[in-house]
Amino acid sequence: MEKNIEKVLLSREQIQAKVLELAATLSEEYADKDPVFVGVLKGVVIFFADMVREINIPCEIDFMCVSSYGGTSSTGNVMIKKDLSVDIKDRHVVILEDIYDTGRSLDATYRYLLSKEPASLEICTLLDKPERRVDGITLKPKYVGFTIPNEFVVGYGLDFNEHYRNLPYIGVLKPEAYQN
């Protein structure tokens, strides 16, 4: 195991099983809807790539990049760094996210996409950390992989200062890794 990881929260196998389950649900619910799956970069890339390869219906994919974070605490500022390239008006859209934390960036992304008048808009997040939600955020993702405790996690796309995204599992960092 990577030396800065204190413990594995979700193993490669647990994640893989959950991806199969979520992808089966989406394939069934969007079978005749030609949905657009929108990934929120960069944290979602690994989850996104695994998900879409298990989704066996016609669909399109697109990406957005929003930013609200520096280090381990949210600033509350959300900036659109990369916009969609597909026109989602009257399309069925599912936002794929790595983690629903304070909710600020996903809430802003959701409202932004809603303004483009999609036929429907839902959220699928691999991880949900409900204890971290800030006041005023009422969005409820329809599809949630795992509800996790209030710990800072890395791996499977999630980073700390841009590192650890490549770990094949989701783990908790050792406290000393924050200080270096």
Contact set with ligand IMP (CB under 6 A) = 43, 68-69, 74, 98-106, 152-154, 158-159
Contact between 109 and 66 under an 8 Å Cβ cutoff? The reply is: yes
**The entry of Mg ion, ligand IMP, none that residue 19 binds, CB within 5 to 8 Å by partner kind:** none
| Site of interaction with Mg ion (CB under 5 A) | 43, 98
Smallest separation (angstroms) from ligand IMP to the CB of 25: 22
Q: Are 148 and 127 in contact (CB under 8 A)?
A: yes
Q: Which residue, 58 or 149, has its beta carbon nearer to ligand IMP?
A: 149
Residue 31 CB, shortest distance to ligand IMP, in Å, is 28
Q: Choose the contact partner of 109 out of Mg ion, ligand IMP, none; CB within 5 to 8 A by kind.
A: none
Q: Which is nearer to ligand IMP, 36 or 153 (CB)?
A: 153
Q: How far is the CB of 44 from Mg ion (least distance, A)?
A: 6
Report how far residue 48's alpha carbon sits from residue 139's, in angstroms, rounded to the nearest whole number: 21
Distance CA 85, CA 61 (A): 10
When CB distances are held under 5 to 8 angstroms depending on the partner's kind, the choice from ligand IMP, Mg ion, none that residue 27 binds is none
Strands 170-173 and 5-10: antiparallel
Least separation, in Å, of the C-beta of 58 and ligand IMP? 28
* CA angle centred on 168, ends 41 and 148, rounded to 5°: 75
Smaller CB distance to ligand IMP: residue 27 or 74? 74
With beta carbons less than 8 A apart as the criterion, state whether 91 and 114 touch.
no
Environment class of 35 (CB within 10 Å of its CB; exposed 0-12, middle 13-18, buried 19+): buried
Which of 50, 98, 101, 128 is labelled catalytic? Answer: 101
Question: Is 104 in contact with 78 (CB distance < 8 Å)?
Answer: yes
Return the bridge partners of 73, or none: 70
Which residue number, 57 or 144, has a Cβ lying nearer to ligand IMP? Answer: 144
Annotated catalytic residue 62: no
Q: Give the active site residues.
A: 101
